[in-house]
Amino acid sequence: MIGKAFLNKIWCYLVLCIGLTVNAQTDEERVGKAAAAQVLGAAPLVNSDVVQQYVNVLGQALSVYTGVTYKWRIGVIKSDAINAFAMPGGYILLSSGLLKSLDSEDELAFVLAHELSHVARRHHYQVVQRQRLADQAAKGLQAVTQDGDTAKLAQASGQIYARGLDKTAEFESDRLGVEIMTRAGYDPAAAINVLEKLQRLSGNDPRAELLFSTHPSPAERLDMLLQAGIDKLPRPTSKPNPNRQARFQKFIQAI
């Protein structure tokens, strides 16, 4: 059983890292840190220990199955928008609007595992790295300072969130996300539930405008998951865990 002291330690760590008081050690972390600051400048963290501790504990449990090691920093931001942001170096921010649309911890596990997969595959970081090389080439490979370089990468990262990643990156994160959540003991069918919820949202729903403009349609994502064999993955044989559902409801009520 996870003790309260450990949960408090996780929350303090989250505040320190996302609050930008701890120096990132790698270029990838510096880029993610700057990108997280941009998001937090538009939407603050939800002021609830229950909320922030919960997503961090669940995210850390799922991250074991990613095959990579990062100092994961996961937070919930106060926003009605239905969206989530995976930043290089292990930063993940989820909107309260997205989380309120979910009905179970299994559905949240898919959302988190999808974002973890983006980071693990370095989807955003690879794009901003290519952008940096393009910028340098355009300037005749002129030298830039490290801080200026990081700022350029953060700016490029912000542009990616505005226009979206390549469709193949989203499809890959869906597939890997389902694999991760299944290995962690969650029901892969929850991924279908999440995408069907998104499908039911109106195309002109302002809460999901950015999501729809930067991601393949939910119908495309569902088709790709079915082609990948999501229906053949093992599903939990036991009845829904009442303790799991109780802690999820407590989490939702605290947002």
Residue ranges per domain, the chain? Answer: 4-254
Mean of the per-residue pLDDT values for the chain? 83
Q: Is the pLDDT reported for residue 18 higher than 60?
A: no
Q: What's the pTM?
A: 0.81
pLDDT of residue 238: 72
- What residue ranges in 4-142 does DSSP mark as E strands? 73-77, 84-87, 91-95
Higher pLDDT, 107 or 144: 107
Q: Mind giving me the DSSP string for 203-237? A: TT-GGGHHHHHHS--HHHHHHHHHHTTGGGS----
Query: What pLDDT is recorded for position 178?
Result: 97
Taking 70 as the threshold, does the pLDDT of residue 226 lie above it?
Answer: yes
pLDDT digits (tens, 9 = 90+) for 196-214: 999 888 667 788 777 777 7
**CA 91 distance to own-chain centroid:** 8
pLDDT digits (tens, 9 = 90+) for 86-139: 999 999 999 999 999 999 999 999 999 999 999 999 988 888 877 766 555 445
Q: Which range is least confidently modeled, 6-15, 129-138, 154-163? A: 6-15
**Spatial CB neighbours of 82, under 8 Å, sequence gap ≥ 6:** 95, 97, 98, 101, 198, 201, 205, 207, 208, 211
Average pLDDT over residues 32-55: 94
Does the structure show a pLDDT above 80 at 222?
A: yes
| Backbone φ/ψ region at 165: left (φ over 0), alpha (ψ -120 to 50), beta | beta
CA-CA-CA-CA torsion sign (90, 91, 97, 100): positive
CA distance 119 to 140: 31
